[in-house]
A and B are shown apart, each in its own frame.
Chain A
């Protein structure tokens, strides 16, 4: 089967695209079917009657008409989680260490990107600009966020993790938690000193807030317009590019081979002439810059950021990485998509199905519950190999 692709380069570029397509469609299909089934089963229940009174829709029609939009949102969210999860999973793959500070690396990326855009707006560069220029500015912001986050990740590794590399496993984890807290307040301090406030809102520019109508479907007798925000498309495209690029880097280049070698066996890799420290630094650089890019994309999608913005996306991305099998790049992708879908579905349907008793606010609990359940019952995740537990 693998023989079909002649060149390894092409193979490594095409394979993740195929995986993305498969994951998105299968998770989407499974979730949709489950929801539709639930909608069918709940017909005639109290929840159904409540909906009929309020919206004049039966529960099945309600499920069906909302479904496409929920899917689109879920996929967008899933790609954001996947992009952050890549950073966790890369570091874990190489050092078997949970980089707790990754969520703040993500926040730094978001802040640098947003501050650049705010500065551009302040200089009057963002109003009435051609579309292409808006994209150039956005790319610029993303690149700056990547550079800052990647650099910070390397710095953190060199100062707070490297001295502890040979210590018992919990020691670097505690240090990483310390770094995470320290960076949160460091961001807050810098923002307070320089801008006087630490809640920042990304400026509106370009056509990112517009909605593109994908298709008009007659669902359950109602013609529903399924649309997607342009910024969601931007997020998805950027995340796919990052995933494919990272996959290429790790699986098809010499540096990637070195990373995999260090992940497998540090002493032996070192004997083979690989500079282990350099490779570990590089891993943090790559993971951190992906996190930084994800931060800017997150800011674009959700508009408002603060120094603690990283915590929940970070812990959810970690959940995604664990769900897919930590240390496994494909797993991070799958985990991210599953978690994004789950969250989007919970947000859309939980309230209606439970008659308002539990609503979208339970989506965090659901994410944590998944994290706990996966860690307890299948710590290797959906795609991971069974790894021996090291205490």
Chain B
């Protein structure tokens, strides 16, 4: 069936991508979906279709300048407006941006250089705790018991230092990456994965336990309040005068903060994408690929393997550091539990889902996982909660929904999601949803060389040691 469908689909895509068609389709599509989201601000499908439409523009044959303009309009005008009508959309987009940057950072280490890092979230923690420590009252609480801040404790730095600390977060996380990389890069392959896992856990445990002898991190309670950058009241008033009639209600200060953090996260994410794209095409990027494919050969070709691996660790870590600072400020709270092993695997599953080494793939992976996490799983939770309150009964087995255990909360089943993504992708589509260009070429060549003989049953006795 799919064989027949494929040519028709190809033809359709070709038609859509000729002449003026892509312009009309994308702009009309965007307008329609925007209208849909605007009119039904609580509708999940509307938002997903809108996101997909915005993402599809990337694939249309449109002049780059026009694409850029469309992108800017969508990102800075359309989304803040629909986000002000339903603040949850901004949260989704904020998280997509944050995790896209994290996944791109991990992608440099795992995808480009081929080093499996299972403790990536440690760098994120470093960034978050950096701003949490300096951007809160913590420095005056070093001798206090966690959770007992005397009233009137001053803040060390003004909230606007946050912007500076994004830069500092990049530097500090990169240095942490170097410090970790120096000893760790002696080990390879699966041992490296375990060492980095251990490192990630050590950082989390330190955050958990450094509330004595000096109270640096407040222990398991976490640090709060962490300052946010200030938003001048005049600015809010001016923007509100324009926004209120469009949004339909006055936009509150909290919502302005959501918009602000969404925009900062988006800017950082775009910067990260540009940096990653440039790196991939650079000499460094090719050196990373060479190391991934065959380290011995790469060294023989004169590539300084240790330096390049350290660079990969540092660059990957720096993205996470910046996003950590951002996360600490937007949540005004950090605690060790946000940086557990599951988070590292979550980011890994984004990279694997999208396509190892593929930049658009990784961004897509981050978007899909965040949407699944925030919208689908939580949507299921809400739906189950409704079912529990209703008198509905599962027909055949005669099971009343209200007898369903309260412990069953799909929103908490992220591990199931990550686990399934990892297993299924590894077995059925190891190159990811959007395979990296280079990898695609390799697969194609391999397919041409082997014909279709390789697809048969593998002889189990035949062991391919790398």
Contact = CB atoms under 8 A, between A and B. Distances in A.
A178 B193 contact: no
A185 B464 CA distance: 33
B191 A266 contact: no
A364 B205 contact: yes
Contacts of B10: none
Interface stretch (A1-9, A128-136, A164-172): A164-172
Contacts of B465: 390
A376 B187 contact: yes
Contact of A266 (B341, B422, B461): B461
Contacts of B118: 177
A158 to B, nearest CB: 12
B452 to A, nearest CB: 17
Given A163-B427, A178-B420, A183-B419, A391 B188 contact: yes
Contacts of A18: none
A174 B461 contact: no
Contacts of B116: 170, 173-174
Nearest to A182: B419
Contact of B466 (A165, A169, A270): A169
Q: Which of A174, A197, A266, A368 has the most CB of B within 10 A?
A: A174
Q: Which of A168, A172, A322 has the most CB of B within 10 A?
A: A168
Contacts of A180: 419
A256 to B, nearest CB: 20
Contacts of B352: 174
Interface residues of A, number: 61
Contacts of A177: 118, 345, 348, 419, 422
A389 B188 contact: yes
A171 B349 CA distance: 13
Contacts of B423: 160, 175, 178-179, 182
A30 interface: no
Contacts of A166: 458, 462-464
B407 A196 contact: yes
A372 interface: yes
A357 B210 CA distance: 9
Interface stretch (B163-171, B194-202, B387-395): B194-202
A192 interface: yes
Contacts of B413: 185, 188-189
A98 B197 CA distance: 13
Given A174-B116, A182-B423, A169 B190 contact: yes
A164 B425 CA distance: 11
Q: Which of B116, B405, B426 has the most CB of A within 10 A?
A: B426
Contacts of A189: 408, 413, 416
A266 B463 contact: yes
Q: Which of B212, B213, B406, B416 has the most CB of A within 10 A?
A: B416
A164 B426 contact: yes
B194 A98 contact: yes
A185 B426 contact: no
Contact of A174 (B212, B342, B422): B422
Interface in B209-254: 209, 212-213
Contacts of B14: none
Contacts of A179: 419, 423
A178 B418 contact: yes
A193 interface: yes
Given A181-B416, A368-B198, A389 B187 contact: yes
For chain B, what secondary structure do more than half of its interface residues adopt (helix, strand, loop), or is it mixed?
Answer: helix
B191 A379 contact: yes
A193 B408 contact: yes
A178 B407 contact: no
Contacts of A372: 183-184, 195, 198-199, 202
A60 to B, nearest CB: 24
B427 A160 contact: yes
Interface string B115-142: 0101000000000000000000000000
Contacts of A163: 427
Contacts of B348: 174, 177
B290 to A, nearest CB: 13
Interface string A373-390: 001100100000000011
Contacts of A183: 419
Contacts of B420: 178, 182
Interface of A: 97-98, 160, 163-175, 177-186, 188-189, 192-193, 195-198, 266-267, 270-271, 276-277, 311, 315, 318, 322, 356-358, 361-362, 364-365, 368-369, 371-372, 375-376, 379, 389-391
Given A167-B430, A368-B202, A376-B184, 13 more contacts: A169-B466, A174-B352, A178-B423, A181-B342, A181-B345, A189-B416, A192-B405, A270-B460, A322-B194, A357-B213, A358-B209, A361-B209, A368-B199
Interface of B: 114, 116, 118, 183-184, 186-191, 193-195, 197-199, 201-202, 205-206, 208-209, 212-213, 295, 341-342, 345, 348-349, 352, 404-408, 413, 415-416, 418-423, 426-427, 430, 458, 460-466
